[in-house]
């Protein structure tokens, strides 16, 4: 009887304590912070993109953009993502690079497309960058580097062109933490598998371009994503033994056109 009463007393104290703690949480403030973060991210994305648009050559060729979007659409649809949320931009630049930006922007350089041997290599890089977006890695990186208050200040009138350029450089030429890179790799592989693309090609791409003879001066995507050979091995180990369904997105004619243009 005493044991039962004691258990009841402990349970009552626990419930009371939980209710007390919940009352101390300012949920309105928490939701307000979330709203600020979302607004800040969207504004940052718009500001950074305007800077890139003003300083880089944006590909206006509808045929090229349609083919890239065809790859992105397969990936997003097969992974239950809202395709309309993502803003995909192709930039005419020899740098072998692609990077995610705040506000669901994805930038792909023509140098990357031209140095991929097949659509699965390109799709693998796209999946990796979409994973950075979906896992909120972009804002985590910027908050860590600059602080949330600084980011909010930038989007509320306290910005300067030089600071926006610094943010752009931070996103396009600096690596994420090892943990975030690994998460983006594996998440990207999962995206590829669901989209019926060959994830082994992403491993091939990482390994191939991490070797000395494939490291041109303008090669950013692997040089800013360290330990590429180890990452390639981790991908191969992750998919080992899996039966993969592979279904091309582009025809050979379409892929050849995309690479040449």
pLDDT tens-digit series, residues 46-59: 988 998 999 899 99
HSE-CB at 8 with a 13 A cutoff on CA atoms is: 5
Q: Residue 241 region, left (φ>0) first, then alpha (ψ -120 to 50), else beta?
A: left
The answer, yes or no, to whether residue 73 has pLDDT greater than 50, is yes
Instruction: Give residue limits of the domains in the chain.
Output: 26-260
The alpha carbon dihedral of 189, 195, 201, 205 has a sign of negative
Instruction: In whole angstroms, give the CA distance from residue 16 to residue 71.
Output: 54
* 83 and 100 Cβ atoms separated by less than 8 Å: no
Neighbours of 89 (CB within 10 A): 18
- Six-digit token string for 241: 């033994």
What are the backbone angles phi and psi of residue 101, rounded to the nearest 5°?
A: -125, 165
Long-range contacts (CB closer than 8 Å, 24 or more residues apart) made by 247-255: 247/196, 247/197, 248/119, 249/70, 249/71, 249/74, 249/119, 249/123, 249/197, 250/67, 250/70, 250/71, 250/119, 254/67, 254/70, 255/118, 255/119
**Higher pLDDT pick, 2 / 33:** 2
Rounded mean pLDDT, 240-261: 92
- Six-digit token string for 74: 């397969």
Instruction: In whole angstroms, give the CA distance from residue 110 to residue 178.
Output: 26
**Higher pLDDT pick, 42 / 221:** 42
Confidence at residue 31, expressed as pLDDT on a 0 to 100 scale: 37
Instruction: In whole angstroms, give the CA distance from residue 166 to residue 71.
Output: 30
* 202 and 192 Cβ atoms separated by less than 8 Å: yes
Neighbours of 84 (CB within 10 A): 8
pLDDT tens-digit series, residues 75-112: 999 999 999 999 999 999 988 899 999 999 999 999 99
Output b/e per residue, 104-119; b: 16+ Cβ within 10 A: bbbbbbbbbbebbebb
Confidence at residue 177, expressed as pLDDT on a 0 to 100 scale: 84
The answer, yes or no, to whether residue 29 has pLDDT greater than 80, is no
- Six-digit token string for 19: 């209710």
Q: How confident is the model at residue 21 (pLDDT cuts 50, 70, 90)?
A: very low
Instruction: In whole angstroms, give the CA distance from residue 235 to residue 193.
Output: 12
From 51-60, 73-82, 112-121, 139-148, the region with the lowest mean pLDDT = 139-148
Overall size of the chain counted in residues: 261
Confidence at residue 155, expressed as pLDDT on a 0 to 100 scale: 78
For the beta sheet containing 105-109, the strands, ordered from the edge strand earlier in sequence to the opposite edge, are 87-91, 105-109, 98-101
Please give the model's pTM, rounded to 2 decimal places.
0.82
Confidence at residue 5, expressed as pLDDT on a 0 to 100 scale: 47
Check residue 98 and report its DSSP letter. Answer: E
pLDDT tens-digit series, residues 159-213: 567 777 777 877 877 678 888 889 999 999 999 999 999 999 999 998 887 775 5
Q: In this structure, what is the dihedral angle of CA atoms 73, 75, 81, 87, given to the nearest 10 degrees?
A: -50
Confidence at residue 153, expressed as pLDDT on a 0 to 100 scale: 75
């Amino acid at each position: 009887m005493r044991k039962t009463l004691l258990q009841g007393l402990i349970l009552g104290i626990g419930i009371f304590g939980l209710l007390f703690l919940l009352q101390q949480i300012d949920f309105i403030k928490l939701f307000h912070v979330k709203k600020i973060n979302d607004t800040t991210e969207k504004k940052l994305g718009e500001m950074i993109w305007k800077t890139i648009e003003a300083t880089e050559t944006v590909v206006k060729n509808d045929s090229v953009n349609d083919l890239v979007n065809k790859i992105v659409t397969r990936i997003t649809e097969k992974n239950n993502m809202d395709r309309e949320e993502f803003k995909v931009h192709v930039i005419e630049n020899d740098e072998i690079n692609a990077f995610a930006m705040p506000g669901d922007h994805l930038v792909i350089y023509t140098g990357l497309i031209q140095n991929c041997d097949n659509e699965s290599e390109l799709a693998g890089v796209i999946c990796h960058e979409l994973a950075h977006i979906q896992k909120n890695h972009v804002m985590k990186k910027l908050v860590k580097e600059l602080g949330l208050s600084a980011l909010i200040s930038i989007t509320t009138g306290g910005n300067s062109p030089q600071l926006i350029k610094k943010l752009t450089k931070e996103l396009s030429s600096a690596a994420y933490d090892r943990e975030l890179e690994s998460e983006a790799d594996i998440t990207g592989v999962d995206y590829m598998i669901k989209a019926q693309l060959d994830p082994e090609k992403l491993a091939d791409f990482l390994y191939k371009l991490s070797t000395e003879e494939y490291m041109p001066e303008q090669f950013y995507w692997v040089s800013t994503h360290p330990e590429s050979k180890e990452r390639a091995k981790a991908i191969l180990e992750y998919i080992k033994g899996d039966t993969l369904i592979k279904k091309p997105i582009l025809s050979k004619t379409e892929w050849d056109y995309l690479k040449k243009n």
